[in-house]
Structure 1
Amino acid sequence: MFELIGLLGEKIQFKHILEFIFVFGLAKISRTIATLLLQSIPTKSALIVKGALAYAFTWAIGEAIVYLIVARQRVGWHFILQRVKCHYGSGLACAKDMVKNRQ
Structure 2
Amino acid sequence: MTYSGGPMTEAMYYVLLALVNPNHGYQLMHSISEVSNERIKMGPGTLYGVLSRMEKDGLISLAEVDGRRKTYEITQEGKVALRTEYNRLKSQIADGKMIEEGENENE
Q: Which has the larger radius of gyration?
A: 2
Which structure has greater strand proportion?
2
TM-score by length of 2: 0.32
Which structure has greater helix proportion?
1
TM-score by length of 1: 0.33
